[in-house]
Amino acid sequence: MSGELLKLIEPELQEVNKILKMTCKIGFETEGKLPLTGFKIKATISIDNPSLSWNTTVSVFNLTQFPGNCAIMITHETYQSYDYRKKGLSVPIHKMKEKIARHFGYSILLATTITTNLNDNVLEKAGFKKVEPLCFLSSRTFKRITTWMKELT
Ligand X SMILES: CC(C)(COP(=O)(O)OP(=O)(O)OC[C@H]1O[C@@H](n2cnc3c(N)ncnc32)[C@H](O)[C@@H]1OP(=O)(O)O)[C@@H](O)C(=O)NCCC(=O)NCCS
Closer residue to ligand X, CB minimum distance, 34 or 134: 134
Rounded to the nearest 5 degrees, what angle is found at the Cα of 95, between the Cα atoms of 94 and 101? 90
Closer residue to ligand X, CB minimum distance, 71 or 87: 87
Q: Shortest Cβ distance from residue 92 to ligand X (Å)?
A: 9
Find the helix or strand (DSSP H, E) in which 92 lies: helix 90-103
Phi-psi region of 146 (alpha: psi -120 to 50; beta: other; left: phi over 0): beta
Question: What are the two backbone dihedrals, phi and then psi, of residue 81, each rounded to the nearest 5 degrees?
Answer: -60, 150
Give the residue from 75, 65, 85 showing the smallest Cα distance to 43. Answer: 75
Q: Shortest Cβ distance from residue 111 to ligand X (Å)?
A: 6
Closer residue to ligand X, CB minimum distance, 41 or 122: 122
Q: Shortest Cβ distance from residue 6 to ligand X (Å)?
A: 21
Closer residue to ligand X, CB minimum distance, 37 or 138: 138
Would you say how long the chain is, in residues? Answer: 153
Q: Which residues bind to ligand X, rule: CB under 6 A?
A: 78-80, 85-91, 113, 118-119, 121-122
Q: Shortest Cβ distance from residue 35 to ligand X (Å)?
A: 25
